[in-house]
Amino acid sequence: MTNRDSVRQKPRIFLTEDAKRLAKKRLPRMIFDFVEGAAGREVGAGRNETRFDDITLQPRAMADVSKRSLITRFLGGEYGLPLGIAPMGMCNLACPKGDALIARSATDRNVPVCLSSAASSSIEEMRRWSGDLAWFQLYFGQTADASFSAAERARDAGYDTLILTIDVPEVSRRIRDQQNGFSLPFRLTPRAFLDFALHPRWSISTLAHGVPAPRNFATESKGFDRKASRAGADWKFLQELRGRWPGKLIVKGITSPEDAVRVQGLGVDAVYVSNHGGRQLDSAPPAIDLLPIIRNAVGPNYPLLFDSGIRNGEDVVKALALGADFVMLGRPTLYALAAAGGAGLQSLLQCFADDIDLAMAQIGVNRIEDITDQVLFTPDFQSVHHETTPRAVHLSAAT
Ligand SMILES: Cc1cc2nc3c(=O)[nH]c(=O)nc-3n(C[C@H](O)[C@H](O)[C@H](O)COP(=O)(O)O)c2cc1C
């Protein structure tokens, strides 16, 4: 085995940050920025992540944690981890055959994988690769009819779980994409040409597999238009979709408790709390702050999914403790793919699994469903204040 082979077999990915660093090296800047970038000044995307650091878990002593299991039951399915892969358009830009590699890792770990409407693999391909683990994400297309036919196409292909994304009434301004001249389908500007020339490995392999293009808008006369308004996904549309879709229906992109309750009232099976990873409204609140508020609004038993800012296994545990039943991985999936293909994603998923398992041992729980708000550390500021007052007085007297 050459050195290069051994590096390929064992990607040095121990954290999402490792995958991101490698992805930054390997991808043309325009592509890395498409994945990493967010709306406006990207303050919201940063806050999604850093907010997790302020949440802490309470270690528990001497509990019997010998029967730990990561098996997670959600919406009638049983999964190997409490997480799945979030819908992301154009995953094949991160790595040739990206969607197929995601499907393979997801089936290896028995976790769901959601194909985006804007994917460059077809609805039918993903279903073939992932079987019942394949979910489909629907964007409102040019018309309600075109959108219903995309859902019917997914139904005909055998999908049971449909996610309607409602937080893109208009595509936000992603400044990095504007600066880089990123557009879909690609226009090969001189700037892009230079960027690609500086990353020959990515460019040659991507060209060899055919430049990725959206594959799931075949029913629409104008094909895929990334900038098209999706504001047609309104309450009336949702109600009609609920009537037509016989399987499980999830609404993604909910950030307000009022909206969550209204979605719940329409007979939707689950609400997906997400601010699109900060890619839509820079000033949106950090998604994790919204989770307990929405949990409170919909009651203890209504199914909730969550994404935006999850970067490691302890973040997953925190999201479950704050009210999520299931979590989805966004950018970390693409960083890992770009870093080292399927092996990269497998390594990263193993890191997530290890971290969730070890955190459960530390906080004294054996089952995913036992991760409740009881595992959170909530400082009792009053008693801290009481105890520290004499010391504070002492310190100020000494200065
Ligand atoms: C490159 C990229 C493409 C995305 N495409 C879609 C999409 O087509 N449909 C959708 O509902 N969400 C899409 N999202 C949002 C993700 O589903 C998810 O909400 C977000 O990535 C979560 O934030 P995080 O990456 O910070 O964890 C995309 C995100 C990224 C990074």
Per-residue pLDDT in tens (0 to 9) along the chain, 399 residues = 344 444 456 889 999 999 999 999 999 999 999 999 999 999 999 999 999 999 999 999 999 999 999 999 999 999 999 999 999 999 999 999 999 999 999 999 999 999 999 999 999 999 999 999 999 999 999 899 999 999 999 999 999 999 999 999 999 999 999 999 998 777 778 888 899 999 999 999 988 888 888 888 755 556 667 778 898 999 999 999 999 999 999 999 999 999 999 999 999 999 999 999 999 999 999 999 999 999 999 999 999 999 999 999 999 999 999 999 999 999 999 999 999 999 999 999 999 999 999 999 999 999 999 999 999 998 876 655 444 444 443 333 333
Is the CB of 86 within 6 Å of ligand 1? yes
Residue 197: the pLDDT is: 92
Ligand 1 pocket, mutate which of 85, 217, 271, 279 (most atoms under 8 A from CB):
279
- DSSP per residue, 313-358: HHHHHHHHHTT-SEEEE-HHHHHHHHHHHHHHHHHHHHHHHHHHHH
Distance 87 CA to ligand 1 centre (A): 6
Q: Which two tokens stand for residue 377?
A: 């550390």
Q: Is the CB of 308 under 6 A from ligand 1?
A: yes
* Number of CB atoms found within 10 A of residue 301's CB: 6
**94 CB-near residues (< 8 Å, 6+ apart):** 23, 27, 31, 35, 334, 335, 337, 338
Instruction: Give the integer Cα–Cα distance in Å for 135 and 133.
Output: 6
What is the pLDDT, as a whole number, of residue 5? 44
In whole angstroms, give the CA distance from residue 377 to residue 373.
Answer: 9
CA 112/CA 79 separation, integer angstroms = 8
Q: What is the pLDDT of residue 225?
A: 76
Q: How far is the CA of 214 from the centre of ligand 1 (A)?
A: 15
Residue 64 C-alpha to ligand 1 middle, in angstroms? 38
The reply to whether ligand 1 has any atom less than 6 angstroms from the CB of 327 is no
- Could you count the other beta carbons within 10 Å of the beta carbon of residue 240? 13
The interaxial angle of helices 98-109 and 331-363, nearest 10 deg, is 20
Measured from the Cα of 329, ligand 1's closest atom is 27
The closest residue, in CA terms, to atom 21 on ligand 1 is: 330
Pick the closest to residue 117 from 80, 142, 84, 97 (CA basis).
142
Spacing, Cα 174 to ligand 1 middle (Å): 13
Cα angle 116, 120, 125 (rounded to 5 degrees) comes to: 80
Asked whether 20 lines ligand 1 (CB < 6 A), one says no
Q: Which are the catalytic amino acids?
A: 276
pLDDT of residue 383: 57
3 CA distance to ligand 1 centroid (A)?
Answer: 35
pLDDT score recorded for residue 218: 54
Ligand 1 contacts CB of residue 48 (under 6 A):
yes
pLDDT score recorded for residue 227 = 77
| CB-ligand 1 contact for 121 (6 Å cutoff) | no
Which atom number of ligand 1 is nearest to the Cα of residue 117? 8
Which atom in ligand 1 lies closest to the alpha carbon of residue 165?
11
CB 310 within 8 A of CB 316: yes
Cβ neighbours around 259 below 10 Å, total: 17
Strands 72-74 and 77-79: antiparallel
Nearest-CA residue for atom 5 of ligand 1 = 88
Report yes or no: 278 and 44 within 8 Å, Cβ to Cβ. yes
**Nearest to residue 45, comparing CAs of 281, 366, 305?**
281
- As a whole number of angstroms, the distance between CA 265 and CA 3 comes to 58
**Ligand 1 contact via 309 beta carbon (within 6 Å):** yes
Task: Judge whether 329 and 1 are in contact, CB under 8 Å.
Answer: no
With residue 20 as reference, give the H or E element that holds it.
helix 16-26
Show Cβ contacts of residue 142 under 8 Å, excluding neighbours closer than 6 positions: 220, 221, 222, 228
| 342, 347, 350, 355 alpha-carbon torsion, rounded to 10° | -140
Q: Is the CB of 274 under 6 A from ligand 1?
A: yes
CA 103 to centroid of ligand 1, rounded, Å: 17
Q: State the DSSP H helix or E strand holding residue 8, giving kind and residue range, or none if neither.
A: helix 3-9
Cα of 52 from ligand 1 centre, angstroms: 18
pLDDT at position 394, please? 36
| Domains of the chain, start order | 9-375 (3.20.20.70)
State whether the beta carbon of 168 lies less than 6 angstroms from ligand 1.
no
Asked if omega into 169 is within 30° of 0 (cis), the reply is: no
The tokens describing 348, both together, are 């990263």
Which pLDDT score is estimated for 122? Answer: 96
